Structure formats: C-alpha cells, structure tokens
C-alpha cells in the first residue's frame, strides 16, 4: 500500500471508506442507492470534463484553467450535502461543485475563455457565487452572507470553498473571527490539496488547519477528502448545525492535487513524480466505485452506459464553449463607473470610433 501524502500526517481524519473501498465506519449516510449512484456519476463527469478543459486550454480555446483532478470527492460530497437555499462561494477550482449546483458549465467556462468576468450565470438562481480569483476574499463574503441569512431568519447556510494556502491570509482569520463572534450559519470548507501553488502545506502552515477553529470558538473537523461519503456526512452535519443556529464549522478535507495548480504552472519544477504516483493510490473515484460494486449498487453495464452518456455531454459542452462569441467591445467600459472619468471616456470614444 502506498504511503499517504505527507500533509495527511497527524490527526486521523474521519473516514467511512478505506482507500481500497472497504467500509471502515458507519456506512449509512442517509442516501438511497440511486442517490449514491448519482454521486459517482457526477464524479465521473467532473473528471472527464476537467481533462477536456485542460485540452481546450492547450488548444487555445481557454485562456487558463485550474484543474481539480483528485478533488472530485471533496467537491461532489460537500455540494451534494447542501440544501437548495444554501449559497456557495467558490474559488476558481470548483467546477465539480458547480455542476452539482446546476450551473451551466458552458457559462461557467466563459470566465476561463475570457469572455465574461466571473461567469454569466445567475448566482441568485443557482445559489453559486461568481468565480473568485483573489485568494480568500470569498470567505469574508460567505460569512457576511451567512449573517444576513440569520438576520432574515432564513433556514439556510453559506459554504465557502478555499485551499490550504488561503488559511495563511488575513481574510480567512477575519472571516473566521466574525463567524465565531456572531455565530454565523457558515461552513468554511478547506480543500487541503497539499500545495499552495509551489509551496507545500508544511511550508505555509505550522499546525493542523482544522484546529484553528477552536481559537475562534467553533468546531473544526478533519475529514478524508477523498472519501465522498465521509465528506457528505461531515458537510451535512455542519449544515444541520448552521440551520439550528449553532454557528459555523471549519472542515479540513484532506485531498491531493494531481495536476498543476493551473495550466500556467509547471509542477515538475517543485515536486517529484513519485509523489504524484503515490497519491494516485488514493483516487476518490476508484475508492467509491469499488464500494458501490461490492454492495451491488452498480455493475459493468451501468458504467458502460454512463461512459457513452458522459462522453456525449462533455463534447456538447466543448462545442458550446468554442461557439461562444466574443462580447461587444463596449462591455469593456460598461459597469465600472456610473460617471466615467474623462480619460476613460476618451478611451471609449477612441476604441468605438465615436
């Protein structure tokens, strides 16, 4: 058996399935067989689409793209656990969670194609916020939104995704403190994938991330982020706490970033291939599929049917992305100033020929 990634050392994470797909805990997370199968299908679709997006970037159809291979369980498990009124505040790496929340992937990828800042989908309809490139700023937004939910008496929560590098930012600590003081119905969901671009977890944080919650007065939980059932249960319980008025939860999901930080990055300059090969032994899809097969919830026929369906879905998304037209030039100047400065007005007139 391969060794666990280095950043998994320390406190044993909550786990339902062992890396080989055998049950090691209470396997009943409250989902029916068809719901369990749906989670695996989401994971398979997400991975196939993720790889297609990398190909699209290499072909010049996307400007830059941050892959998430290896993190499917962390995103699918957590997004599935949320209710329809809950609101997600993503980073720039949550395409899998966006799929679960009903975001049109073509519209989502408009951001990475460079045709729309933040994506043209409606955040209010999808309950999924715009893509956030600045590190950790969305955590503050999520806690503020959660406080608004509490003031309105709405039985819902917000969930902010972020990476381990974000926990070194001031915005993380300010948001966590605010959430603790005001008992905000928020879930702070850290996908600890081992690398903050080229900096390993142990070089950017000295302690275990989930323990930081204690200093802010609320629970922190460490979960195996490659175990989709454990992630689902942990997030579901955190949402229940939020709904009940018991405040925020910090979840540290231990996972591993198989690919580069983004297509603009070369991980070969700072990590060795043996590390990546070892991490593949903890593949979240292989683990979950193995268990579903062992209990008779899926078989080879179902998987074969899905393969064809998913391929068709991904190719349709690819065609949709490529077919997106360039936005009108005047949009570059719109929605920035109510009363544009003279210099901007001159530039607009020069570009548009007016």
DSSP percent split of the chain into helix, strand, coil, nearest 5: 50, 10, 40
User: Of these residues, 261, 287, 289, 318, which one is catalytic?
Assistant: 261
From the list 54, 47, 96, 59, the residue with the least C-alpha distance to 263 is 54
**Alpha carbon distance 197, 344 (integer Å):** 35
User: Of these residues, 58, 270, 280, 337, which one is catalytic?
Assistant: 270
Q: How many CB atoms lie within 10 A of CB 241?
A: 18
The string over 205-223, giving b where at least 16 C-beta atoms fall within 10 Å of a residue's C-beta and e elsewhere, is beebbbebbeebebbbbbb
Kindly list the distances between the CA atom of residue 161 and the CA atoms of 226, 247, 254, 332, in Å, as whole numbers in the listed order. 16, 17, 13, 29
Say what the pLDDT of residue 280 is: 93
**Alpha carbon distance 85, 106 (integer Å):** 23
**pTM greater than 0.85 (yes/no):** yes
Q: Which helix (H) or strand (E) holds 249?
A: strand 249-254
> 304-311 — which CB contacts under 8 Å span 24+ positions?
306/41, 306/44, 310/41, 310/44, 310/45, 310/48, 311/48
DSSP-derived letter for residue 326 is P
| Radius of gyration of the chain from its Cα atoms, rounded to whole angstroms | 21
From the list 235, 184, 196, 185, the residue with the least C-alpha distance to 93 is 196
Contact 206, 21 (CB under 8 A): no
Contact 103, 126 (CB under 8 A): yes
Kindly list the distances between the CA atom of residue 89 and the CA atoms of 22, 42, 108, 194, 199, in Å, as whole numbers in the listed order. 33, 20, 14, 21, 24
Note the Cα 7 to chain centre separation in Å: 19
List the chain pLDDT tens, one digit each, 354 residues.
Answer: 678 888 888 999 999 999 999 999 899 999 999 999 999 999 999 999 999 999 999 999 999 999 999 999 999 999 999 999 999 999 999 999 999 999 999 999 999 998 876 667 999 999 999 999 999 999 999 999 999 999 999 999 999 999 999 999 999 999 999 999 999 999 999 999 999 999 999 998 999 999 999 999 999 999 999 999 999 999 999 999 999 999 999 999 999 999 999 999 999 999 999 999 999 999 999 999 999 999 999 999 999 999 999 999 999 999 999 999 888 888 888 877 889 899 999 998 999 886
**Alpha carbon distance 282, 194 (integer Å):** 14
261 counts as catalytic:
yes
What are the two backbone dihedrals, phi and then psi, of residue 128, each rounded to the nearest 5 degrees?
-135, 115
**Alpha carbon distance 197, 218 (integer Å):** 29
> 22-26 — which CB contacts under 8 Å span 24+ positions?
22/291, 22/294, 23/291, 25/230
Contact 117, 111 (CB under 8 A): yes
270 counts as catalytic:
yes
Question: Side-chain half-sphere of 302: how many Cα atoms within 13 Å?
Answer: 13
Question: Side-chain half-sphere of 170: how many Cα atoms within 13 Å?
Answer: 0
What are the two backbone dihedrals, phi and then psi, of residue 256, each rounded to the nearest 5 degrees?
-150, 135
257 counts as catalytic:
yes
User: Of these residues, 47, 257, 289, 318, which one is catalytic?
Assistant: 257
Contact 344, 333 (CB under 8 A): yes
């Amino acid at each position: 058996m391969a060794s666990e990634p280095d950043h998994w050392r320390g406190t044993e994470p909550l786990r339902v399935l062992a890396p080989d797909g055998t049950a090691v805990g209470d396997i009943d997370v409250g989902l029916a067989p068809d719901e369990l199968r749906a989670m695996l299908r989401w994971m398979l679709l997400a991975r196939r689409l993720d790889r297609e997006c990398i190909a699209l970037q290499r072909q010049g159809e996307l400007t830059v793209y941050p892959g998430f291979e290896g993190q499917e369980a962390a995103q699918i498990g957590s997004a599935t656990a949320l209710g329809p009124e809950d609101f997600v505040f993503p980073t720039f790496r949550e395409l899998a969670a966006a799929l679960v929340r009903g975001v049109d992937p073509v519209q989502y990828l408009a951001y990475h194609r460079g045709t729309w800042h933040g994506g043209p989908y409606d955040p209010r309809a999808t309950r999924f916020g715009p893509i956030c490139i600045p590190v950790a700023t969305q955590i503050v937004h999520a806690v503020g939104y959660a406080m608004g939910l509490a003031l309105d008496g709405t039985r819902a929560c917000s969930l902010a995704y972020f990476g381990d590098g974000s926990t070194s930012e001031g915005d993380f600590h300010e948001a966590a403190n605010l959430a603790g003081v005001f008992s905000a119905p928020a879930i702070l969901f850290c996908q600890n994938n081992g690398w903050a671009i080229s900096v390993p977890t142990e070089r950017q944080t000295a302690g275990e991330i989930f323990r930081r919650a204690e200093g802010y007065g609320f629970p922190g939980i460490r979960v195996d982020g490659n175990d989709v059932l454990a992630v689902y249960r942990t997030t579901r319980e955190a949402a229940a706490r939020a709904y009940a008025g018991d405040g925020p939860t910090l979840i540290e999901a231990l996972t591993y970033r198989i690919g580069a930080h983004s297509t603009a990055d070369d991980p070969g300059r700072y990590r060795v291939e043996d590390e990546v090969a070892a991490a593949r032994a903890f593949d979240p899809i292989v683990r979950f599929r193995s268990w579903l097969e062992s209990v008779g919830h899926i078989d080879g026929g179902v998987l074969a049917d899905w393969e064809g369906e998913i391929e068709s879905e991904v190719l349709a998304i690819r065609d949709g992305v490529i077919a997106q037209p360039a936005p009108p030039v005047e949009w570059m100047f719109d929605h920035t100033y109510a009363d544009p400065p003279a210099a901007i007005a001159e530039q607009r007139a020069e570009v548009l020929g007016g």
